[in-house]
Copies of this chain bind each other. A is one copy, B any other.
Amino acid sequence: MSENVKLAEHTWPEVEALLKRDPVAVIPVGAFEQHGHHLPLMVDAHMAGTVCEAAARKAQGDGTDIVVTPTVWTGYSPHHMGFPGSVTLDDDTFSAVVGHVARSLARHGFRRIAIINGHGGNMNLIKNLTQTLFYEHGIRAAAASYWDFALADLAAWRQSETGGIMHACEMETALMLATRPDLVRMDEAADQLLDRSTYFGADLLAGGSVASAATFRELSPSGVIGAPTLATGERGEALLETMVARLATFFADFATWPLGEKEETRT
């Protein structure tokens, strides 16, 4: 079973053996929230886990020792709570859950922990978590969203104008068509773009200069922000392949990072 990247399917003696090879551990983090009329609640958790496992298999095939934990499906989604079915933690609990998973792994000896995210609302928290894990616990984690490694690819791939890639959008719909077409109702998909001050971000590839919170109900009655109708399964497969390759490359790079001694930072 040593080639299985799913940590969940290992026994403890197998993990003990694996740790001798200084493996990368990956924690996929998602959310559980509305994705419009055409996508199910599970999109963010499903995509984070799917991309991570595929990338880990690819990296492993290329010689990187690596395992992936189950996906933390409980994200930070207060802005979606106006839509039935959405689940949210508060910010402290979210950080505590992901933090304890990382701390548990670090305690057993995992020294390279990648937190790979599938939900925009988690990003500030995940980034801050790499700080508290390091400054308070001496744990070197790296955090990013799965699309962060493929932003240039995404720009080349898109057909939508700015505003088309945000939530339940061209990208997410295509990726779901590529991986779980049975759960996509394209007949219910409808485009919805934001019309806001230029100080705000309105697209994954065009972030604004100012942070300010709003609820999704205010922004979009359907729950969609973007252009899902442009998505096809074929385009989704192409995008997925690219994203998996980019993430696999990062995993391989991460496995080689030098690990300095941690200086004491606590007061």
Identify the A interface with B (CB < 8 A).
7-16, 19, 32, 34-42, 45-46, 69-70, 72-74, 76, 78-79, 81-93, 96-97, 100-101, 103-109, 121, 124-128, 130-136, 140-144, 148-149, 151, 183, 185, 188, 197, 199, 209-215, 217-218, 223, 250, 253-254, 257, 260, 262-263, 265-267
Contact status of A8 and B130, CB under 8 A, knowing A88-B104, A100-B87: no
The complex places the Cα of A109 from the Cα of B267 at a distance, in Å, of 11
Contact with A41, one of B8, B40, B144, B148 (Cβ below 8 angstroms): B8
On chain B, the residues within 8 Å of A89 by CB distance are 96-97, 100
A-B contact pairs, 26 of them (CB 8 A): A7-B85, A11-B34, A11-B39, A11-B40, A11-B185, A12-B36, A12-B41, A12-B86, A74-B97, A81-B267, A85-B108, A86-B104, A93-B96, A100-B267, A103-B267, A124-B127, A125-B128, A134-B214, A141-B212, A142-B210, A148-B209, A148-B210, A151-B209, A197-B257, A215-B262, A218-B263
Contact status of A41 and B10, CB under 8 A, knowing A104-B87, A142-B211: yes
Minimum C-beta distance from A255 to chain B (A): 12
Minimum C-beta distance from A219 to chain B (A): 10
Q: Find out whether the CB atom of B125 lies under 8 angstroms from the CB atom of A263.
A: no
The complex places the Cα of A144 from the Cα of B207 at a distance, in Å, of 12
On chain B, the residues within 8 Å of A73 by CB distance are 8, 70
Given contacts A134-B212, A135-B215, list 14 more A-B pairs with CB under 8 A: A8-B40, A9-B41, A32-B70, A72-B74, A78-B136, A93-B93, A93-B100, A124-B125, A133-B213, A134-B213, A135-B213, A142-B212, A148-B210, A197-B253
Contact with A36, one of B11, B34, B91 (Cβ below 8 angstroms): B11
Q: Find out whether the CB atom of B42 lies under 8 angstroms from the CB atom of A144.
A: no
Q: Find out whether the CB atom of A78 lies under 8 angstroms from the CB atom of B265.
A: yes
On chain B, the residues within 8 Å of A35 by CB distance are 11-12
On chain B, the residues within 8 Å of A11 by CB distance are 34-41, 85, 185, 188
